[in-house]
Amino acid sequence: MLRSLMSTNHKDIGLYYFIVSLWSGLVGFGLSLLIRLELGSGGLLIGDEHLYNVLVTSHAIMMVFFLVMPLFMGGFGNWMIPVMVGCSDMLFPRLNNLSFLLVPMSLLLFLASMYLEGGGGGWTMYPPLILGSYSPSISVDMMVLSLHMAGLSSLLGSINIILTSVLVSVLHGSSESTPLLVWSLLITAGLVVLTVPVLAAALTMILLDRNFMTSFFDPVGGGSPVLYQHLFWFFGHPEVYILILPGFGMISHIVIEMGGKFEVFGCLGMVYAMVSIGALGSLVWAHHMFTVGMDIDTRAYFSAASMTIAVPTGIKVFSWLASMYGSVSWKSSSSLWVMGFILMFLIGGLTGVIISNSSLDTMFHDTYYIVAHFHYVLSMGVVFSMFVGLNYWMPLVVGFGMPERVLKMHFYFTFISVNLIFFPQFFLGALGMPRRYIDYPDSMMFWNSVSSFGSLLSLVSVLMYMIGLFYMFSECRGVMFSGKVVSSMEWGISTVWSHHTNLEGVVIYS
């Protein structure tokens, strides 16, 4: 077992990333169920307000740092980049292995911090709440160190992705033939290298304030809590695009394959759109801080720049729709997931344009309207693209796929349940319900009950997917002898140099 964990093969490491990140996703999903059970009960079900804050904090960190980032950049990045650019492995295999080993170590440290008394300061970790005066427990220090390790893992993996993609593209002539999935992972890796060190600096200053009597963020000693917000959101807003950009690449790739086309409509424009999204996303961090007392000119800039991101995002949506027009079969589960992704991301994007207005954001700030907005982008946009990728490339990774009827049923249950969870939260935000509050007036009971019912329905969809996976693996022995052998052409990697791919035949279970 230990020897296998030390493997430097990109496929082995990608598979380990899949296992760890999906397990983390199940833990984060379980935490979200506890949150919704508490909010749907009308009273105090858990009975401990501090425990509720710990659940909210842990759910966010598990989903962002231990599900989406390792799954997209570690799992899909390791598996697909060498295959798509035509090389036998990542450029630095041992660095690749080290970047993976840091993830379970970071995860164990974070899980340990959850079981210690203290913590619960929110995933944004705003001072002075997170400082020693209000959160003296070692649990916070363990959580910060865990995020340091997770950030180091992301940095090492991103450096590997950048150098592998760029070097191979240079060696093989032109970057114009580089697949959009590789472009999206390359831009994502660039954002990680740009922003994660800023988060690391902010976390280091928090550790110093907590343990060495400095006053970077402590107002008692002349520090500025607003400085921390600037540092955090310089990472925090590009983080949204770090999470969603790989999904853009996967959707683009699968749209091409569904339509049987050589490339997506406006392929070069799609690349420029992703670069623009990454660049603009790094310049609008302070639209999360409209309530800290900015002057009117600064608010006007960040409002205008935030709205500008809608332009390249719209280019991508219209390019996907143009690519699908007249050529996509609606009989496949992939087409359902792609359209579900576009719809969910569209709702998240439009509500983002609304709250980019500084006046409206001042009203909606820290209400459930914000929660609904970013969950439509992340919980639906990211997770839908995640399921698209898992369903589409699962036969390539493990050798066999799930039945189409199960994938379609899973889509319908997921689509209905997530909309039941998060769409009522727009109404709760309009009613003024603050986020991270454990209780609320009786007038908000109905929409909270609807949201919690949707959460229970999402449990059915997750169990359905897990049962489908279990059934698929239990039947794999018979499938290997009676199933359909599929060539690499099925995954759109026919342009890969055949002597580099080393792909074996795989089996589709039906």
19-30 burial by CB neighbour count: b if 16+ within 10 A, else e? Answer: ebbbebbebbbe
Q: What is the pLDDT of residue 36?
A: 93
- How high is the pLDDT of residue 170? 67
Which residue ranges make up each domain of the chain? 10-480
pLDDT of 328:
65
pLDDT at 2: 61
For 10-480, which CATH class?
mainly alpha
Reading the block at residue 98, the tokens are 């080290």
β 506-508/484-486 pair status: antiparallel
Q: What is the pLDDT of residue 258?
A: 77
Beta strands in 20-115 (DSSP E): none
Active site residues: 59, 89, 123, 153-154, 237, 239, 241, 252, 287-288, 313, 316, 435
User: What pLDDT score was predicted for residue 166?
Assistant: 84
The DSSP string of 304-341 is HHHHHTHHHHHHHHHHHHHHHTTT--TTSHHHHHHHHH
| Ordered DSSP codes for 342-391 | HHHHHHHHHHHHHHTSHHHHHHHTTBHHHHHHHHIIIIIIIHHHHHHHHH
Q: What are 507's strand-pairing partners? A: 485
What is the per-residue pLDDT for 481? Answer: 38
Residues 6+ apart with CB under 8 A from 383: 418
Give the angle 243-247-253 at the CA atoms, nearest 5°.
155
C-alpha gyration radius of the chain = 22
pLDDT score for 171: 66
C-alpha span between 25 and 68 (Å, rounded):
8
Structure tokens at 169: 């593209």
Question: Distance between CA atoms of 228 and 205, rounded to whole angstroms?
Answer: 9
Give me the pLDDT at residue 245, please.
93
- Please name the residue that has the structure tokens 């769409």: 423
pTM of the full structure? 0.90
Instruction: Pick out the chain residues at pLDDT < 50.
Output: 479-490, 492-510
- Reduced to 3 states (helix: H, G, I; strand: E, B; else coil), residue 124 is coil
The Cα–Cα gap between 198 and 292 comes to 20
Q: Is 133 helix (H, G, I), strand (E, B) or coil?
A: coil
In degrees and rounded to multiples of 5, residue 508 shows phi and psi of -105, 125
Name the token pair of 224: 């500025």
Residue-by-residue DSSP string for 214-281: --SS-GGGT--HHHHHHHHHHHHHHHHHHHHHHHHHHHHHHHHHHHT-SS-TTHHHHHHHHHHHHHHH
pLDDT recorded at residue 450: 95
Say if CB 265 and CB 327 are below 8 A apart: no
State residue 476's pLDDT score. Answer: 61
Give me the phi and psi of 494, to 5 degrees please.
-70, -20
Structure tokens belonging to residue 172: 């093989």
